[in-house]
Amino acid sequence: MVQGIPADIWWNDEGELVEPANQGRGGTSWVKRRTIHGAGTFYVKRQRGYLYRSLRHPFGRPTALREMLAMRALRKLGIATPEVAYFDMRYRDGAWEAVLVTHALEGYVSLQDGLLSARWRHAQKEAILRLLTDATEILHRARRRHGHLYPKEIFVDDRGTQPRLCFLDLELSRRQFRVRDAAESDLRHLLPSLRNLGVEAPLCQAMVDHYRRNGIALRDERIAPRARQRAY
């Protein structure tokens, strides 16, 4: 949490809209980029009536709650996520509202943008994908899926001798019954997206081989792209 910033600051709907608001799940969700003098730059996710439902919350809670809990779970596994600056939710005027504030990732580039711009040489790209494979294996062995594992949600800090990764957009993350289920659910999205961004087939196959070599028997038909799946 950020010291010295009143909580009501985050509930004020100020800042630059990052992308069009999402309409669905019975409500609205939007993200704004906001810079506060002396404190830094933040991403502020605001929601109203934008809910998920579960056995624990059959009448719904804001998806920002699930995202915040997923970020906490990944950090316990040693997987980096944006640092949470503030979270709160409230029930007002007949609907759940939530605000989730994270620190901006300074110096990072999305894996999608890096691949599209040919930012990395082959050896660098190979190192990044090995690091990604190690991180996703840890995630999946915990029987947790990311839920939206596309290259645009994976950010890379390549300024040092060794790259670092950070996972974003975890509001669809959830536990799975089996390790293989978690892995197949995410890799079905990730692998075709990497191929569409120009990653060579042997590098993608190396990810699959890594899982199988370590006892996670991925099934080809479960990690193949589905009809009308997004490109990346």
Q: What is the pLDDT of residue 185?
A: 96
Of the given ranges (26-30, 38-42, 52-56, 141-145), which has the lowest mean pLDDT?
A: 52-56
Q: What is the pLDDT of residue 227?
A: 66
pLDDT value at 120 more than 90: yes
Q: What is the pLDDT of residue 28?
A: 95
Q: What is the pLDDT of residue 13?
A: 83
Count of CB atoms situated within 10 Å of the CB of 17: 11
| Dihedral angle of Cα 16, 193, 223, 230, to the nearest 10 degrees | 60
**Host H or E run for residue 183:** helix 179-196
Instruction: Report pLDDT digits (tens) over 213-230.
Output: 999 999 999 998 776 667
Alpha helices for 77-171 (secondary structure H): 111-116, 122-141
What single-letter amino acid sits at 40?
G
Copy the structure tokens of residue 163.
């790259």
CATH 3.30.200 in the chain: give the residue spans.
7-103
Could you give the CA distance from residue 18 to residue 198 in angstroms, rounded to a whole number? 26
Q: What is the pLDDT of residue 169?
A: 95
Give helix 179-196 / helix 122-141 axis angle, nearest 10°: 160
- Write the CATH number of the domain with boundaries 7-103: 3.30.200
- What pTM did the predictor assign? 0.92
Query: What pairing do the DSSP bridges indicate for beta strands 61-62 and 51-52?
Result: antiparallel
Could you give the CA distance from residue 146 to residue 139 in angstroms, rounded to a whole number? 8
Query: What average pLDDT does the segment 142-152 reach?
Result: 97
Instruction: Report pLDDT digits (tens) over 170-212.
Output: 999 999 999 999 999 999 999 999 999 999 999 999 999 999 9
pLDDT value at 124 more than 80: yes
Could you give the CA distance from residue 127 to residue 11 in angstroms, rounded to a whole number? 41
For residue 62, list its beta bridge partners: 51
Q: What is the pLDDT of residue 224?
A: 86
Could you give the CA distance from residue 72 to residue 118 in angstroms, rounded to a whole number? 32
Confidence of residue 5 (pLDDT cuts 50, 70, 90): confident
Could you give the CA distance from residue 109 to residue 119 in angstroms, rounded to a whole number? 10
pLDDT value at 3 more than 70: no
pLDDT value at 136 more than 90: yes
- Write the CATH number of the domain with boundaries 109-223: 1.10.510.10
Q: What is the pLDDT of residue 7?
A: 86
**153 and 135 in contact (C-beta within 8 Å)?**
no
For residue 36, list its beta bridge partners: 40
CATH 1.10.510.10 in the chain: give the residue spans.
109-223
Confidence of residue 1 (pLDDT cuts 50, 70, 90): low
Q: What is the pLDDT of residue 163?
A: 95
